[in-house]
Each structure stands twice: as C-alpha cells, then as structure tokens.
C-alpha cells in the first residue's frame, strides 16, 4: 500500500470527505496550471504539507478541473488559499503569500 502523500490533490468528488469532514484543520490552495504565482508558491505549499503532516490536511484544487468548487467558494483570483476548520472557512489569503504568513494562519487554527 502506497504511503499517503502529504499534499493532496482534491476535487469535486472528494472535497467534502477530505476537507470539510477532515477531523483536523485543512489548508486548501485553489490554483491553476497556467498561473505563474501559483507555480511560484507550489514549493512553499509542498513544504507546509510536509511540515504540518498529521496535524493539518494540506490540499490543492485545480480551479479549471473543478469550476463548481471555485464558484462555490467565490474564488475569483488564483492563487487563493483557504483555511478550513469544522467544515467552515476560517481564513482566506488571496494572492501569493510568504510561508510565514501561511504558517501564522495555520498556527492560529491549531491553537
């Protein structure tokens, strides 16, 4: 059995189960392959996924492949990162941010 990756690619079919019903906070990066800033923060997101493994669900959603999710959460610009807890959006970051800003948001949810 393959070890589960720290960074999950989620979509309309598994978003509810993997993000909204997650027993731990979830960090969700709404992005697109054509988005330069999304590519620039991808290593930051991967690093956070490894750093917070087993404490935070870190996921990415491709808005082109999952337009209903993007519309449901009002994503109008990418990258947009949303922090979820208990199935609710707790914080939104629009545009590329630093690892420190994302970390501060995650740490607020964990404490």
Distance CA 94, CA 85 (A): 18
Residue 111: C-alpha distances to residues 39, 56, 90 (Å): 30, 12, 13
Does 11 participate in catalysis according to the annotation?
A: no
Length of the chain, in residues: 111
* Marked catalytic residue, from 7, 19, 38, 82: 38
Does 13 participate in catalysis according to the annotation?
A: no
* Marked catalytic residue, from 35, 45, 75, 83: 35
Distance CA 56, CA 34 (A): 27
Active site residues: 35, 38
């Amino acid at each position: 059995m393959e070890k589960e990756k720290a960074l999950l690619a989620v979509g309309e079919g598994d978003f509810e189960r993997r993000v909204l019903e997650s027993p731990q906070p979830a960090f969700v990066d709404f992005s697109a392959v054509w988005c330069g800033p999304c590519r620039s923060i991808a290593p930051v997101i991967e690093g956070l996924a490894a750093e917070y493994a087993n404490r935070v669900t870190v996921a990415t959603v491709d808005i082109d492949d999952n337009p209903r999710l993007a519309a449901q959460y009002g994503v109008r610009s990418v990258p947009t990162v949303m922090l979820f807890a208990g199935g609710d959006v707790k914080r939104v970051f629009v545009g590329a941010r630093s690892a420190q800003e994302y970390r501060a948001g995650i740490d607020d949810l964990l404490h």
